[in-house]
């Protein structure tokens, strides 16, 4: 049984043309899932019946001559922190085990309008906190390239699902790199839009000023297509950007002649970056230059403070966002003689160690007497980072560097010390702090034969340029082991 | 009684009030659920006001407009503001944080003039925040710590509130009541809230401390559970006394929140926690800043209605009295100032008009009274056609029937009494009460004072209340030669 | 300026209480060590003079985002209560709550 490698655009084209029934597409993918997900565990929940039903509806529309949508019949793997009405949304946490939201996330509605088919809810680090999917309360996901290795996180399930051919597209969320890093480790495309470009309504909040939903795919063109569907203003999200979304697909193949590409010194020299990873990044940069881009080094000095600022801001916001999990209205409840004790017991039983760690870190960073030194300071450091990035974007159209410091690492390799795990985010964090868009494009493998991702970053609302540069990187990427 | 705010031993009571008013919007602050009182529990809820995972708040434009309107009515400066999360756990709080405004509130530095004393109370701030749900304790002994369990209704969760914080400028229970009354009048006039304490759309917490005049402020206690103006007054007086007694007996006032017990007439400590709450305020990431700008503020100013203070000034000017005169305050409070102004404009003597408004129009339908009629009535009084007592009765009839005063006076037989007729009536009564008359003539002022009342009463009865008391007294004295 | 590095066991215990989490003694020790390490990294920004740098609360600058005061559909109460651990008379039922709201 081979995993499906059809692109979303190809699937949509054939379904829309009526030459391939959506229900066949779904059945093929379900068969692959059936065969392989037992080992990979990308999914918390496979929605076989629902997917078939949706597929049949698409086929009826096609037969009736109606427009079934730009992504008609395309199976999508949905990270399990995106609300799906009537369908369990667990955030891979015991505290939400079995919880069925009474509403759909805006992006879920958009997927349905586009004719895409949600084939399952994928595994993640609990409440999106982690870089390996090892923090899931329901067991980790394996990297399809090597099942003894992590897929990355927190959106490890969606990344693995796309990599393994369980779905043509995936949706994840990215707060500190949680789409891009697993994309790099699984050898797929993963993109984080400009903050506010995609509605967060229905995304279970982790760190509100950092979270964004974004696409996983096997090609840049597919990612652009999915981005085009999910992006846009939403009146249900007050941080949603009102500006209309230009079509980013048109300019994809325009190439990078004259594009000013900056290589961020501090990110390339960050702690722990594997030399073989860096070598691939250099290869990609050279390819861009060959394709006509103007490449130069650029220093973004404040970026070195990114990890510190991020690990004060994200826990602080998370500690507040996760206060609602208390056993009163939904989810797990552990009974007790008083409400206070019920809160304590429910939350202690329901949250895993990493979540508890971040809640406490965040509570501390906001607490009386410490706010200015920690959270307050981190928000100012964030401004410094944004200023330095903005300065870089005066001289460069895009910035390029590694997505993750290493290739996929073994289970348990980085769990002893939380800090070690946090270091995975060093290259991805700056774009979350700034709200800028960024994408990881697979570019060959490391010495261990495992995928390497190259990251392209662009200024706010620069998605068109971002995808264009990403397409050029993709075009130059080594294919298979012979190109190594 | 000592001057307001002080006791015999010269203590000054210092009061600051925090008033929460529910804003009269159609929908809640952050979602489109109806802002309605009295519906079946949990029927006006949605993912946002239930705080379900993934939900996000979006600010209600009308709540902002009403907040600004009330702020401008209180002469506040409207500023760029942000929202903040106030983090604490309580089951009526769906998110276990309340979205409020902390260090950058929308309205700052205003003032409110107390109607009668005329003194100005500073308004520190008036900011927007969301209301909580309602919890009901069930079972147990009725006291909170004996309750069997609690039931929560989230219909009220997310209703927009305006929290209005005064500076500690109040010095007596009376002032505090006057402040709340006037604030309520302003809330009603601006349409910002229906401000009903008994329905919970107006809630008052009092911060009370005591000090020797001239000293720095003492430690304050917050008093909660004040459900009426009466409770507010009683609680402040109780608390001031409690603190004074405590300090005078060598103790110190502990900063705490106290609960007013209406039945027992005392404040008591709420169950204290080991640690003070740490709300860990930080800017709300899901809401962007509010910066109304000059145009929006100008529109709000243009739409401001005539406020109670302006109405008092207008009536006072027309009547030629000071604005803090009781009758003026009452006229505006009862919304009879329009009537009074029109009556004065129609020629009614201002003092008579105001007297009627203050004392004789606390009846239903008074606002519908024809101002020309009231003016005519006042004229009948000043010309002597009607006595004050008669005029009052005519007025009551005017409100009830809508008829004009002349018609009613005639029907009641309250025609004018000429001087001769009056003199004859007095003489007749004197003749009929010879003994009393002798005592009147021969007695001292005290005796005469008492007997005057007797004679006036007799004349009133004999003339069917048409006699003017003063004229009768004058006639008696004339006959007695004193 | 509070000392940056060493968060104490007592502080961790206090924070756990604020966050409504119960920790065993062992967890208290482990978390204290781990949190101290993360906070230790905050030292690298300790020396940064950012007093004049405004904080960023929102990465994309928007202002005055409001919605009209119009009713939108509410949730059906059945649905609302269906996901609840305990209900009675159309309300959410919880154990006795000690103390008033702050």
> How does pLDDT run across B306-342, given as a tens digit for each residue?
999 999 999 999 999 998 888 998 898 888 999 999 9
pLDDT of residue B275: 56
The whole-angstrom separation of Cα A426 and Cα C6 is 24
Q: Could you give the residue numbers annotated as active site of A?
A: 79, 154, 178
Closest-CA distance, C42 to chain B, in angstroms, reads 19
Q: Does A200 touch chain C (CB under 8 A)?
A: no
Q: State the nearest Cα–Cα gap between C59 and chain B, in angstroms.
A: 10
- Taking contacts as CB-CB distances below 8 angstroms, the residues of chain C near B273 are 99
Instruction: Kindly report, residue by residue over C75-87, the tens digit of the pLDDT.
Output: 999 999 999 999 9
> How many A/B residue pairs have CB atoms within 8 Å?
96
Packed helices B326-333 and B308-319: angle between N→C axes, nearest 10 degrees? 130
Domain membership flag for residue A106: yes
Cα separation, C1 vs B381, whole angstroms: 77
DSSP A415: -
In a shared domain, residues B363 and B277: no
- What confidence score (pLDDT) does residue A480 get? 61
The whole-number pLDDT of residue C40 equals 87
Whether A102 sits inside 8 A of B96 (CB atoms) is: no
pLDDT in tens, B354-401: 999 999 898 888 888 999 999 999 988 888 788 888 888 899 989 988
Mean pLDDT of chain B: 91
Q: Which residue of C has its CA nearest to B288?
A: C63
Nearest to A67 by CA among A10, A7, A15: A15
Tell whether A437 is covered by a domain: yes
B1 occurs within a structural domain: no
Local confidence band at B273 (pLDDT 50, 70, 90 cut-offs): low
B312 lies in the same domain as B234 = no
Q: What percent of chain B has pLDDT over 70?
A: 95
ω before A154 within 30° of 0 (cis)?
A: yes
**Distance, CA of A400 to CA of A341 (rounded, Å):** 50
Query: What's the gap in Å between the CA of A331 and the closest CA on chain B?
Result: 10
Split at pLDDT 50, 70, 90, the class of B2 is very low
B43 & B180 share domain? yes
Predicted confidence band of residue B271 (pLDDT cuts 50, 70, 90) = low
* Cβ-nearest to A308 among C2, C12, C45: C45
Q: CB distance from A416 to chain C under 8 Å?
A: no
H/E element, A445:
strand A438-445
Top-level class of domain C1-47 = mainly alpha
Look up tokens 């003749």; give the residue: B431
Tally of domains within chain B: 3
Q: How far is CA A238 from CA A63, B91, B131, in A?
A: 39, 26, 20
Whether A134 is in a domain gets the answer: yes
Residue B107 maps to a domain: yes
**Does B204 have pLDDT greater than 80?**
yes
Measured between CB atoms, which of A328, A330, A460 is closest to C94?
A328
**Nearest residue in chain B measured CA to CA from A209:** B285
Do B70 and B194 fall into the same domain? yes
Q: Classify residue B181 by burial, with Cβ atoms within 10 Å: 0-12, 13-18, 19+.
A: middle
Q: Are B19 and B249 in contact (CB under 8 A)?
A: no
Confidence of residue A34 (pLDDT cuts 50, 70, 90): very high
If asked whether residues B29 and B159 sit together in one domain, one would say yes
In this complex, the residue of C69, C96, C100 whose CB is nearest that of residue B148 is: C96
Report DSSP letters for A253-309, one per residue: GG--TT-EEEEEHHHHT-TT--HHHHHHHHHHHHHHHHTT-EEEEE--GGGGGHHHH
Touching check for B214 and chain C: CB below 8 Å?
no
Number of structural domains in chain A: 1
Is the predicted pLDDT of residue C99 greater than 90, yes or no?
no
Nearest to B177 by CA among B199, B202, B160: B202
Where b means 16+ CB within 10 Å and e means fewer, A116-150 reads bbbbbbbbbbbbbbbbbbbbbbbebbbbbbbeebb
Is A340 near chain C, with CB under 8 Å? yes
What is the interface size between A and C, counted as CB pairs within 8 Å? 175
CA distance A315 to A364: 9
Q: What is the mean pLDDT of chain C?
A: 90
Q: B285 and A208: CB-CB below 8 Å? A: yes
Report the chain A residue with the minimal C-alpha distance to residue B149: A338
Q: List Cα–Cα distances, C8 to A79, A123, C1, C37, in angstroms.
A: 37, 35, 16, 12
Q: Which chains touch C (3 or more CB pairs under 8 A)?
A: A, B
pLDDT > 70? residue B274: no
Identify the weakest region by mean pLDDT among A117-121, B86-90, B268-272.
B268-272
Bridge partners of B128?
Answer: B162
Show the tokens assigned to A114.
């586009």
Q: What percent of chain A lies above the pLDDT cut of 90?
A: 95
Whether A99 and B89 lie within 8 Å, measured CB to CB: no
Residue A305 CB: number of other CB atoms within 10 A?
A: 26
**Least CB–CB distance from A209: residue in C18, C57, C62:** C57
Six-digit token pair at B316?
A: 């006072």
Q: Does residue B285 carry a pLDDT above 70?
A: yes
Measured between beta carbons, the chain C residues lying within 8 angstroms of A357 are 31, 34-35
Q: What is the CA radius of gyration of chain A?
A: 21
Q: Which residue of A has its CA nearest to B147?
A: A338
Structural domain span for residue A466: 8-306+377-483
B147 lies within 8 A of chain C by CB: yes
Give the neighbours of chain A: at least 3 Cβ pairs within 8 Å. B, C
What CATH number is associated with residue B441?
A: 1.10.10
| Same-domain pairing of B171 and B281 | yes
Chain B residues within 8 A of A96 when measuring between CB atoms: 53
The C-alpha angle B468, B473, B477, rounded to 5 degrees, equals 150
Q: Which of B372, B389, B412 represents a domain boundary (last residue)?
A: B412
The pTM of the full predicted model, rounded to 2 decimals, is: 0.90
Q: Is A337–C38 a contact, with Cβ atoms under 8 angstroms apart?
A: no
The parent domain of residue B260 ranges over 12-302
Same domain? For B35 and B146 the reply is yes
Contact B58 C62 (CB under 8 A): no
Taking an 8 Å cut-off on Cβ atoms, the answer to whether B288 and C58 are in contact is: yes
Q: Three-state SS for A410? A: strand
pLDDT at A66 over 60: yes
Strand partners, A297: A263
Q: Is B124 a domain residue?
A: yes
Q: Is residue A405 part of a domain?
A: yes
| Rounded Cα gap, residues A117 and A30, in angstroms | 12
> Which ipTM did the prediction report?
0.96
Interface membership of C94 toward B (CB under 8 Å): yes
B389: left (phi over 0), alpha (psi -120 to 50) or beta: alpha
- Note whether C64 contacts B275, CB cutoff 8 Å: no
**Is position A155 within any domain?**
yes
The Cα B395–Cα B408 span in angstroms is 9
Which residues of chain C are within 8 Å of residue A352 when distances are taken between CB atoms? none
Contact C94 A343 (CB under 8 A): no
Domain membership flag for residue A346: no
Of A177-186, A197-206, B45-54, C1-10, which gets the smallest average pLDDT? C1-10
Handedness of CA B354, B359, B361, B367 (dihedral sign): positive
Cα maximum dimension of chain A: 70
- Across the interface, do B58 and C65 touch by the CB < 8 Å criterion? yes
* Contact between B152 and B91 (Cβ < 8 Å): yes
Q: How far is A200 from chain B (nearest CA, A)?
A: 7
CA distance B53 to chain C (A): 12
The pLDDT tens digits for C19-78 are 999 999 999 999 999 999 988 888 778 788 898 999 999 999 999 999 999 999 999 999
Q: What is the spatial distance between Cα B128 and Cα B130, in angstroms, rounded to a whole number?
A: 7
CATH of the domain at A265: 3.90.1300.10
Cβ within 8 Å, pair A371-B280? yes
Q: Which residues of B86-103 are buried (b: 16+ CB within 10 A; e: fewer)?
A: bbbbbbbbbbbbbbbbbe
Q: How many CA atoms lie within 13 A of B103 on its CB side?
A: 6
Residue that has been written with the tokens 């102004």 in this structure: B341
SS3 at position B85: strand
Looking up tokens 């209704």, which residue turns up? Answer: B153
As given in the structure block, the two tokens for residue B326 are: 């009781």
In sign, the C-alpha dihedral spanning B315, B319, B323, B324 is: negative
Do residue A102 and residue B52 have CB atoms under 8 angstroms apart? yes
Instruction: Give how far Cα A252 sits from Cα of A247, A463, A473, Å.
Output: 10, 10, 11
| Same-domain pairing of B80 and B167 | yes
Question: Tens of pLDDT along A280-331?
Answer: 999 999 999 999 999 999 999 999 999 999 999 999 999 999 999 999 999 9
CB pair distance less than 8 Å for A242 and C62? yes
Compare all CA atoms of chain C with the CA of A343 and give the residue at the minimum distance: C20
Q: Is residue A433 part of a domain?
A: yes
The answer to whether A411 faces chain C, any CB pair under 8 Å, is no
Q: Please tell me the distance from the alpha carbon of residue A215 to that of residue A161, in angstroms, as a whole number.
A: 12
Using CB atoms, pick whichever of C45, C59, C75 lies closest to residue A195. Answer: C59
Question: In the block, which residue shows the tokens 């309602």?
Answer: B134
Is any Cβ of chain B less than 8 angstroms from the Cβ of A102?
Answer: yes
> What length is written for chain B?
482
Same domain, B124 and B241: yes
A 288-307 near C (Cβ less than 8 A): 304-305, 307
Window B:54-73, CB contacts with C under 8 Å: 58-64
């Amino acid at each position: 049984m081979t995993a499906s490698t059809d692109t979303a655009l190809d699937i949509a084209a054939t379904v829309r043309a009526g030459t391939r029934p959506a229900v066949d597409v779904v059945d093929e993918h379900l068969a692959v899932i059936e065969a392989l997900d037992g080992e990979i565990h990308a999914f918390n929940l496979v929605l076989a019946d629902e997917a078939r039903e949706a597929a049949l509806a698409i086929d009826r529309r096609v037969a009736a001559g109606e427009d079934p949508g730009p992504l008609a019949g395309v199976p999508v793997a949905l990270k399990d922190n995106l609300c799906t009405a009537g369908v369990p949304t667990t955030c891979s946490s015991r505290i939400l085990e079995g919880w069925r939201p009474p509403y759909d996330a805006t992006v879920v509605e958009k997927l349905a309008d586009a004719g895409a088919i949600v084939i399952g809810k994928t595994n993640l680090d609990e409440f999106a906190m982690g870089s390996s999917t090892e923090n899931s309360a329901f067991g980790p996901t394996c990297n399809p390239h090597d099942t003894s290795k992590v897929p990355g996180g927190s959106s490890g399930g969606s990344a693995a699902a796309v990599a393994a051919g369980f779905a043509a597209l995936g949706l994840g969320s990215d707060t500190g790199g949680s789409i891009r890093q697993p994309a790099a480790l699984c050898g797929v495309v993963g993109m984080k839009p400009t903050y506010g470009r995609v509605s967060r309504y229905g995304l279970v909040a982790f760190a509100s000023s950092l979270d964004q939903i974004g696409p996983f795919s096997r090609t840049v063109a597919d990612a652009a297509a999915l981005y085009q569907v999910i992006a846009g203003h939403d009146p249900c999200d007050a941080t949603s950007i009102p500006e209309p979304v230009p079509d980013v697909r048109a300019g994809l193949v325009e190439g990078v002649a004259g594009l000013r590409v900056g290589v961020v010194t501090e990110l390339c020299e960050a702690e722990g970056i594997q030399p073989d990873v860096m070598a691939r990044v250099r290869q990609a940069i050279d390819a861009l230059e060959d394709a006509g881009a103007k490449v130069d080094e650029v220093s973004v000095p404040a970026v070195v403070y990114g990890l510190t600022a991020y690990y004060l801001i994200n826990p602080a916001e998370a500690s507040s966002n996760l206060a609602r999990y208390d056993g009163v209205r939904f989810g797990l409840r552990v009974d007790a003689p008083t409400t206070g004790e019920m809160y304590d017991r429910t939350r202690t039983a329901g949250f895993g160690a990493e979540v508890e760690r971040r809640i406490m870190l965040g509570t501390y960073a906001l607490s009386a007497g410490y706010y200015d030194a920690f959270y307050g300071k981190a928000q100012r450091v964030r401004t410094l980072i944004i200023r330095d990035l903005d300065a870089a974007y005066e001289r460069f159209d895009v910035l390029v560097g590694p997505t993750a410091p290493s290739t996929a690492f073994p289970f348990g390799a980085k769990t002893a010390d939380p800090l070690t795990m946090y270091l995975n985010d060093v290259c991805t964090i700056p774009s979350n702090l700034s709200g800028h868009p960024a994408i990881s494009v697979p570019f060959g493998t490391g010495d261990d034969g495992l995928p390497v991702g190259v990251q392209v970053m662009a200024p706010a609302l620069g998605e068109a340029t971002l995808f264009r540069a990403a397409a050029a990187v993709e075009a130059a990427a080594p294919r298979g082991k012979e190109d190594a | 009684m000592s001057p307001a705010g002080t006791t015999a031993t010269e203590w000054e009571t210092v009061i600051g009030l925090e008033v929460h008013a529910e804003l009269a919007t159609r929908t809640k602050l952050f979602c489109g659920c109806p802002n309605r009182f009295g519906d079946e529990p949990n029927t006006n809820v949605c993912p946002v006001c239930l705080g379900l995972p993934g939900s996000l708040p979006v600010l209600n434009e009308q709540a902002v407009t009403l907040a600004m309107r009330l702020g401008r009515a209180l002469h506040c400066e409207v500023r760029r503001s942000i929202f903040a999360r106030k983090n604490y756990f309580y089951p009526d709080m769906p998110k276990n944080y309340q979205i409020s405004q902390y260090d950058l509130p929308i309205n700052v530095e205003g003032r409110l003039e107390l109607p009668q004393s005329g003194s100005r109370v500073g308004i520190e701030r008036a900011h927007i925040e969301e209301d909580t749900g309602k919890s009901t304790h069930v079972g147990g002994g009725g006291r909170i710590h004996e309750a069997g369990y609690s039931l929560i209704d989230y219909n009220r969760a997310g209703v927009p509130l305006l929290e209005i914080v005064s500076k500690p400028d109040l010095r007596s229970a009376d002032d505090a009541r006057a402040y709340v009354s006037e604030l309520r009048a302003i809330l009603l006039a601006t349409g910002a809230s229906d401000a009903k304490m008994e329905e919970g759309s107006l809630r008052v917490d009092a911060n009370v401390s005591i000090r020797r005049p001239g000293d720095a402020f003492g430690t304050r206690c917050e008093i909660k559970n004040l459900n009426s103006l009466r409770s507010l007054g009683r609680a402040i007086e109780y608390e001031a006394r409690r603190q004074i007694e405590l300090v005078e007996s060598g103790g110190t006032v502990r900063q705490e929140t106290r609960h007013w017990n209406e039945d027992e007439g005392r404040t008591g400590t709420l169950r204290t926690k080991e640690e003070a709450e740490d709300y860990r305020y930080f800017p709300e990431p899901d809401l962007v800043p509010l910066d109304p700008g000059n145009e929006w503020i100008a529109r709000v100013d243009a739409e401001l209605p005539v406020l109670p203070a302006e109405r008092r000034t207008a009536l006072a000017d027309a009547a030629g009295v000071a604005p803090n005169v009781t009758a003026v305050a009452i006229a505006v409070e009862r919304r009879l100032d329009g009537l009074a102004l029109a009556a004065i404009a129609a020629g009614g003597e201002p003092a008579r008009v105001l007297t009627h408004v203050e004392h004789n129009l606390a009846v239903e339908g008074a606002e519908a009274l024809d101002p020309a009629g009231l003016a005519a009535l006042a004229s009948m009084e000043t010309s002597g056609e009607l006595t004050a007592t008669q005029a009052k009765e005519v007025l009551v009839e005017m409100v009830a029937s809508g008829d004009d005063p002349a018609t009613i006076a005639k029907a009641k037989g309250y025609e004018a009494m000429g001087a001769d007729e009056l003199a004859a009536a007095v003489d007749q009564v004197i003749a009929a009460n010879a003994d009393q008359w002798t005592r009147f003539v021969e007695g001292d002022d005290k005796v005469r004072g008492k007997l005057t009342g007797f004679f006036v009463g007799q004349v009133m009865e004999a003339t069917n209340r048409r006699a003017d008391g003063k004229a009768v007294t004058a006639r008696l004295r004339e006959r007695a030669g004193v | 300026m509070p000392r940056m590095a060493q968060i104490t066991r007592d502080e961790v215990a206090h924070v756990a209480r604020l966050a409504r989490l119960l920790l065993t003694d062992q967890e208290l020790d482990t978390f204290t060590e781990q949190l101290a390490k993360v906070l230790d990294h905050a030292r690298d920004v300790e020396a940064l003079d950012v007093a004049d740098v405004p904080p960023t609360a929102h990465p994309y600058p928007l202002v005055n985002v409001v919605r009209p005061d119009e009713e939108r559909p509410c949730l059906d109460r059945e649905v609302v209560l269906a996901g609840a651990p305990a209900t009675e008379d159309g309300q959410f039922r919880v154990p006795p709550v000690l103390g008033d709201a702050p």
